[in-house]
Chains A and B, each alone.
Chain A
């Protein structure tokens, strides 16, 4: 391994600009003659707009224009599209109500966009928006899924009966019922996967521009996937052909899913820039981020597990209510179905599984992917269920898991819920997790904690994740309205330096470093000679973007393929110049050598020759060294892991302190261990946040109560311990780099480990379940209730 190749702890090249305050984020960008947009938002969860008067606002100081839902409707532009169609059990397509950029008739959640004011300054736009008079007829609202599906519940969309978007199923119901008929034990849990708010630290920003002399549109936006935004906004909303629309997502300050989606503000500023002939900039404030960035999770699940007398899992049946919010966000519909139910086998051999999911509209912010997206929901339910099963059967929780693991020799393993796992060694990862966490030393630590008057618990979770999203054929068959490949272009310059153009997008993942390591390793060029370009549709040919831990598995594979094409072409050139046959040329460590001779050319010499083709046979050899590749994955990749959490609970106050956290993950090949550790740390803390601190709350009128950092508790440095991170990598993943994905593992594995630990700690007090987030109040109440019985 070289000091900068695959596997090296290379320092991140992007950090110099971030450390010195020179990052170039969307809000740092301004255009000449720029105007500022402010969006007037609904204060009601559900209301009909009787009338709307913008006259005073339009006449206010500095105001350039005021646009309403009627203006949008009259202009003939489309609504925001949903990218994944689900069909119900009966074969009918999901309900897909319109999602307008500005609403004209009825608002459906607090924060729904009603009008856009554009002015010379941001303050002028904001002040003028307050002068818009909207006569709302408030309507009864509904925010909870279990209430929304009842007869007589308020209808979010008048045409969608029982607020049901779809009622979907997966798995063999008869085989599952048969499993239950033979069960020695049936274990049941009801779990709520709490709604969380993503909170990337950079709020969303969109800056639209239009050049009347060329007819070219430009949008700068905080996106994880600028090409997807260009496609959705250009083709479906504003009807702008791709060659006239440039979308740039420069430095982006975190995404966590929330910046995948096409949001109304992106289309609004682009549309308005054309109308006004001036750039239009919109910057979300944090309050808007809380009430407009797509939220995550919000699943209520009932699950039952059938177990035989030896502790073997026989069958699993699961019923979930999934909150979609008021409208369908870009990938919302796929989260509880194809990203969640397909992983219900987990790492276990459960032979029969049946799952049904009912997706429900409510008067809340749209719900979509947040770090893990469907996988955390499934893992949390499963691992709570397995711990409950251990309690009910009397089998030790580690032993029960061991009895049910899929064994490495069973690979490839076809689950009963569609996926086929390619490689993995779950028993080995599990034992490595127990060892790293000093599982056998827990009793001693528990005694020490108890000597201080506190309780100590240990929680285990295992998980599997499907990353490397996704084989287009599979995704298409399941309702995706897009292919999920990735592109790369490797451009070798005449003196041998390289620019890599990637369709993946880095917003914290460190692609500029990791991808350069891959190119450097493959082409044998110095790491410093490789630049990575991303985030600009005018530079990068195409891209499906970064989410679902797909960048290295899919985007990296495209890079691998493009590098192979470069090597092929360079081999042809070297063969020509060295007067040898192509078959005799060996490429190693950046040198092309005629086998068995000392005749050799360095990569840089071949590059120069490619651009100075003085004696090329032009019929068979083109000048230049620049190759494109698209890579469509053969299968998902399947990271897995074992996370172990130890908590200390103060029984007097209910305060939970994470005393120790260990994550052992199989993520396949590691390109940069330093970056991998950071990804796991961040994910684990995100998951601990969900388990202990973060919970989105609405009141009975649909008002968002957790709309600021004073009300929504983010994990802070003083809430967290150092985290032990190890890898137990199993090679052989179905992509050329044998990588699996790491961005979400922490957020998937950690919540059940934390809650299992809290329940373990409180077991002696008679507590058998604690809801997320396990705040001091929740824990204290659980203790009081258990003691009262």
Chain B
């Protein structure tokens, strides 16, 4: 097997890495680039813990090959905050205690950001459907949905 050289933009920075042909983007992010925020919860695209945004589209990074990132833009949880300044979604998750064990949280935040990028004013139902691809065993989703709606409101108000 020969490793493939991949050049991609990851969280706004030009990045190159080597990966095997069969290696998932999730494994490349975690094992090659040390970006361990995305988690493997199932490896089959059912739980959303590995969510990243690829060229503006929400994907399960366990279902994308690392080599497919060539020439594309990848956004992960590690790029969401600006230095010490949390993204409004992160801040509202903190304010509402919308996380417990934290393992699904990066995926929820990435998915919620993708939702709000598409729809800045979602109803409760739209938030619930928008996040239905992400599993959480701890929170019962209650505080997550409230935090996302609260974040949407504060982002609309430009706060």
Taking Cβ atoms with an 8 Å cutoff, the residues of A that contact B are 11-12, 14-23, 25, 27-28, 123, 199-203, 251-254, 256, 285-286, 507-510, 674-675, 677-679, 681-686, 708-710, 714-718, 720, 722-723, 746
Residues of chain B contacted by A15 (CB below 8 angstroms): 93-94, 97, 99, 102
Cross-chain contact B77 with A686 (CB below 8 angstroms):
no
Residues of chain B contacted by A19 (CB below 8 angstroms): 81, 86, 90, 93-94, 99, 102, 105, 109
Chain B's nearest CB lies how many Å from the CB of A12? 6
29 residue pairs of the A-B complex, CB under 8 angstroms, read A11-B97, A15-B99, A17-B102, A18-B99, A19-B102, A19-B105, A21-B77, A28-B36, A200-B137, A201-B49, A253-B101, A285-B40, A285-B43, A508-B101, A508-B138, A677-B142, A678-B100, A678-B142, A682-B140, A685-B139, A685-B141, A708-B42, A716-B132, A717-B145, A718-B132, A720-B142, A722-B142, A723-B140, A723-B142
Alpha-carbon gap, A685 to B90, bound state (A): 23
Alpha-carbon gap, A20 to B78, bound state (A): 6
Residues of chain B contacted by A28 (CB below 8 angstroms): 30, 36
Taking Cβ atoms with an 8 Å cutoff, the residues of B that contact A are 22, 30, 35-44, 46-47, 49, 76-78, 80-81, 86, 90, 93-106, 109, 124-125, 127-129, 131-132, 134-146
Alpha-carbon gap, A16 to B37, bound state (A): 13
Residue of B nearest to A15 (CB): B94
Residue of A nearest to B130 (CB): A717
Alpha-carbon gap, A285 to B44, bound state (A): 10
Residues of chain A contacted by B145 (CB below 8 angstroms): 717, 722
Residue of B nearest to A9 (CB): B97
Alpha-carbon gap, A22 to B129, bound state (A): 27
Q: In the complex where A14-B102, A201-B47, A256-B137 touch, is A21 in contact with B97 (Cβ < 8 A)? A: no
Residues of chain A contacted by B142 (CB below 8 angstroms): 677-678, 681, 685, 720, 722-723
Alpha-carbon gap, A286 to B135, bound state (A): 13
Q: In the complex where A21-B38, A201-B41, A723-B140 touch, is A254 in contact with B101 (Cβ < 8 A)? A: yes
Residues of chain A contacted by B95 (CB below 8 angstroms): 11
Q: Which of B35, B37, B96 gathers the greatest number of chain A CB atoms within 10 Å?
A: B37
Residues of chain B contacted by A16 (CB below 8 angstroms): 94
Q: In the complex where A21-B76, A286-B43, A678-B138 touch, is A718 in contact with B94 (Cβ < 8 A)? A: no
Residues of chain A contacted by B97 (CB below 8 angstroms): 11-12, 15, 510, 674-675, 677-678
Q: Which of B96, B100, B104, B134 gathers the greatest number of chain A CB atoms within 10 Å?
A: B100
- Checking B90, B101, B103, B146 against A20 with a beta-carbon cut-off of 8 angstroms, the contacting residue is B90
Alpha-carbon gap, A11 to B147, bound state (A): 13
Cross-chain contact A202 with B41 (CB below 8 angstroms):
yes
Chain B's nearest CB lies how many Å from the CB of A266? 19
Q: In the complex where A19-B86, A201-B101 touch, is A681 in contact with B140 (Cβ < 8 A)? A: yes
Residues of chain B contacted by A681 (CB below 8 angstroms): 139-143
Alpha-carbon gap, A18 to B81, bound state (A): 12
Alpha-carbon gap, A681 to B98, bound state (A): 11
Cross-chain contact B140 with A23 (CB below 8 angstroms):
no
Additional pairs, 5, CB under 8 Å, beyond known A25-B36, A202-B103, A715-B141 = A678-B142, A682-B100, A714-B137, A717-B134, A717-B136
Residue of A nearest to B42 (CB): A286
Q: In the complex where A20-B78, A201-B47 touch, is A508 in contact with B39 (Cβ < 8 A)? A: no
Residues of chain A contacted by B134 (CB below 8 angstroms): 717
Chain A's nearest CB lies how many Å from the CB of B48? 10
Alpha-carbon gap, A28 to B38, bound state (A): 10
- Checking B22, B37, B44 against A21 with a beta-carbon cut-off of 8 angstroms, the contacting residue is B37
Q: Which of B80, B101, B145 gathers the greatest number of chain A CB atoms within 10 Å?
A: B101
Cross-chain contact A686 with B36 (CB below 8 angstroms):
no
Alpha-carbon gap, A677 to B137, bound state (A): 15
Alpha-carbon gap, A201 to B100, bound state (A): 11
Cross-chain contact B135 with A714 (CB below 8 angstroms):
yes
Cross-chain contact B100 with A21 (CB below 8 angstroms):
no
Alpha-carbon gap, A22 to B39, bound state (A): 11
Residues of chain B contacted by A677 (CB below 8 angstroms): 97, 142-143
Residues of chain B contacted by A720 (CB below 8 angstroms): 128, 140-142
Chain B's nearest CB lies how many Å from the CB of A61? 10
10 smallest CB-CB distances across A and B, nearest first, come from A21-B37, A18-B102, A253-B103, A685-B140, A508-B101, A508-B100, A681-B140, A709-B46, A21-B77, A286-B42
